[in-house]
Amino acid sequence: MKTFQPKESEVKRSWHLINAEDEILGRLSTKIAGLLMGKGKATYSRHMDSGDFVVVINAEKVAVTGRKASQKVYRTHSGYPSGFKEKSYDMVMEKHPERIIEHAVSGMIPDNRLKKARMLRLKVVAGDQNPYEKEFKKEEKAQVKL
């Protein structure tokens, strides 16, 4: 018996809508990372990108446990002298709440050549409106044809 190796043309991508309201950030991020990598599929292979599209709404309503809301800090460095910057969780949540989920999911996806393509399939939206409603309807029509 030969081991099944999926081809790029055989990958079927579906769309998942996730509501982040009252969800814990870390637990939500692991679910999203699994969907982006395609780990729940029977055709999963580590060297192939077989994941799905994920749309997250209500990013500003995600919850964190403990005192993370007051203590968590996001750090960046430009590589230049005095290029170190720190932003608190509250500041990032106030200006760009979608970046918090993107940063958490990015840390849970393996750092390899597939990471960029996987992160491009993650769509995080602040608010409860889904701007990707057309893609969901296309998928429903495609499923009816099968």
Does the residue 2 lie in any domain?
no
Q: And the tokens for 25?
A: 């950030």
pLDDT digits over 66-108, tens only? 999 999 999 999 999 999 999 999 999 999 999 999 999 999 9
- CATH number for the domain including 63? 3.90.1180.10
Residue whose C-alpha is closest to residue 23's, from 139, 92, 124: 124
Does the residue 4 lie in any domain?
no
pLDDT digits over 4-43, tens only? 888 889 899 999 999 999 999 999 999 999 999 999 999 8
Q: Can you give the residue range of the structural domain that contains 41?
A: 10-140
Does the residue 5 lie in any domain?
no
Give the confidence band of 3 by pLDDT, cuts at 50, 70, 90. confident
- Overall number of domains in the chain: 1
Place of tokens 């106030």: 94
Does the residue 88 lie in any domain?
yes
